[in-house]
Amino acid sequence: MDLFIGSSQIAFWPLPKTAVVKRVHFSRELFDKRLPIHKNVGRIVIYCGSNDILRGIDPIENILRFVDLLVETYPASEIIVLGILKSPRAFKFHDVITRANHRLKRGLPEKVRFLNLNRSLVHPKYYREDGLHLNMDGYYVWERAIWGSNV
């Protein structure tokens, strides 16, 4: 079983039926979600922070504390944190997002994989008409980074 935790970017992603999705809007809500009790979680993927930044909230401390909890709870699981996207709608926050992603990467435990795919997803063609959420082409970029050429 794979566990996906995050904002609407995760909720809109057409994931396999075997995936468990926990939806949050803001980083402070990460701790409101009950984690699955069984320990056979193969991979945990987290995307969170863009909603916070668009509202002037710094999400990094909450994300890092939550990742520490995941590492402790699921020591055998692969944990992947997806970098905060620089979506077209978040254009005026690009510098803030760049700094946040640097802080996030530096603060993560060594065993956690950080994927900042902003260079691959810089073009508006990867986003829905709202300029915020990924479209199928954008999700394909995420999938290739997470699962490799097995997509």
Q: Bigger pLDDT: 26 or 143? A: 143
Whole-angstrom distance, CA of residue 134 vs CA of residue 140:
9
Residue pair 107/60 in contact by the 8 Å Cβ criterion: yes
The pTM assigned to this predicted structure is 0.93
Whole-angstrom distance, CA of residue 59 vs CA of residue 104:
9
Residues 68-108 have pLDDT tens digits of: 999 999 999 999 999 999 999 999 999 999 999 999 999 99
| pLDDT bracket for residue 16 (50, 70, 90) | confident
Give the N- to C-terminal CA distance of the chain in Å, as an integer. 17
Domains in the chain and their CATH numbers?
A: 2-145 (3.40.50.1110)
